[in-house]
Amino acid sequence: MDHRHTLLIIEDDVDCRRGLDVSLRKSGHRILHAADARTGLATARQERPAVILLDLGLPDGDGLGVLEQVLSRPETKDCAVIVVSARDMQSHRSRALDLGARAYVEKPYDMDELREIIDRSLATTKIAAHAEPEESAPLKVLVVEDDPDTLRAMSIILRRRGVDVAIARDAVTAVSIARAEQPDAILLDLGLPGCADTKLVERFRLLDSLFSTPIIVITGKSAVEHRDSALAAGADAFIEKPAEEDEIFAALEAALVARGPVGAP
């Protein structure tokens, strides 16, 4: 069994998340991502990471509010929170430390120094490293997409990370495969032939077996016009094409955490 600490990165900048992920995985840590305050809090409660790297400028809330909530809740009060932010250190550092942050690191940061701060936090954390099974069943994802080039590209991206991929090019086939395969998550394009924009999301949610399955909409349609209706129909996240690989997996990971363990009631 491989014993690793869990680190949670709450950061809305994709490039910053990617850079931290690459650097910290080299140290053998298990890395989770959240791009906003709501997902970050849900992930922290569900996963109870040993260390949280927290940006302050989040799209749906102030990072200091996240810090306060994390350290005030019984299930997350032992998490070591390190603020990593571009905000002026002089005006925000004292407030962050008063609220309980272990450290305040100003962007741009030195990665070696940040690793040292993380290591010191891990050395004193009350949250133990957890054992990961050497092998686990691969994640099964259904990709619903009518464009062959996009479907091929997404399948390659997913399989490269060990995901078991099922594909559907139309709504009828998607429902049939989803019922038969019971995927762990669904990546869904809008505007499939013969199917109104969010009708397939609604159809999935009417099926008991798919009611809690994470659905990530990945589409070329404008977020301004379609995000709210997709989320209202039951989608967990909305990503505009072209979608970055890290963005897709961050959304998948966040949705799976928020929905609970696969197979949970």
How confident is the model over 26-85, as pLDDT tens digits? 888 888 989 899 999 999 998 899 999 999 999 988 899 999 999 999 889 999 999 998
Phi first, then psi, for residue 240 (nearest 5°) are -85, 140
> Given a cut of 60, is residue 124 above it in pLDDT?
yes
Please give the structure tokens belonging to residue 115. 């690793």
Beta strands 80-85; 103-106: pairing state:
parallel
Q: Which two tokens stand for residue 17?
A: 């998340």
* Model pLDDT for residues 162-197, shown as the tens digit of each residue: 899 999 999 999 999 999 889 999 999 987 876 777
Q: Give the mean model confidence (pLDDT) for residues 206-234.
A: 85
* Exposure class string for 127-155: b at 16+ Cβ within 10 A, else e: bebeeeeeeeeebebbbbbeeeebbeebb
Task: Inform me whether the pLDDT recorded for 1 exceeds 70.
Answer: no
Residue 207 confidence class, pLDDT cut points 50, 70, 90: confident
Give the tens place of pLDDT for each residue, 209-219.
Answer: 888 899 999 98
Q: Please state the rounded mean pLDDT for residues 132-146.
A: 77
Check pLDDT > 60 for residue 155: yes
Residue 133 pLDDT greater than 50, yes or no? no
Q: In the predicted model, is pLDDT for residue 2 greater than 80?
A: no
For position 167, what pLDDT does the model report? Answer: 94
Q: For residues 70 and 207, give the distance between their C-alpha atoms in angstroms, rounded to a whole number.
A: 35
- How far CA 2 is from CA of 121, 133, 178, in Å, comes to 20, 7, 33
Structure tokens at 241: 């094409």
Task: Name the residue ranges covered by the structural domains of the chain.
Answer: 2-132, 140-259
Residues 2-132, CATH architecture: 3-Layer(aba) Sandwich (3.40)
> To which residue do tokens 């809740």 refer?
73
pLDDT of 123: 84
pLDDT band at residue 87 under the 50/70/90 scheme = confident
| Beta carbons within 8 Å of 251's beta carbon, 6+ residues apart | 35, 216, 236, 237, 239
Q: What pLDDT is recorded for position 197?
A: 72
* 140-259: CATH number: 3.40.50.2300
Q: How far is Cα 192 from Cα 245, in angstroms, rounded to an integer?
A: 22
Q: At what angle do helices 148-160 and 245-259 cross, to 10 degrees?
A: 70
Two tokens, residue 195: 């199917």
Q: Dihedral sign for Cα 55, 57, 62, 64, please.
A: positive
State the average pLDDT for the chain.
85
Cβ pair 63, 70 in contact under 8 A = no
Select from 243, 222, 250 the least CA-distant residue to 154.
Answer: 243
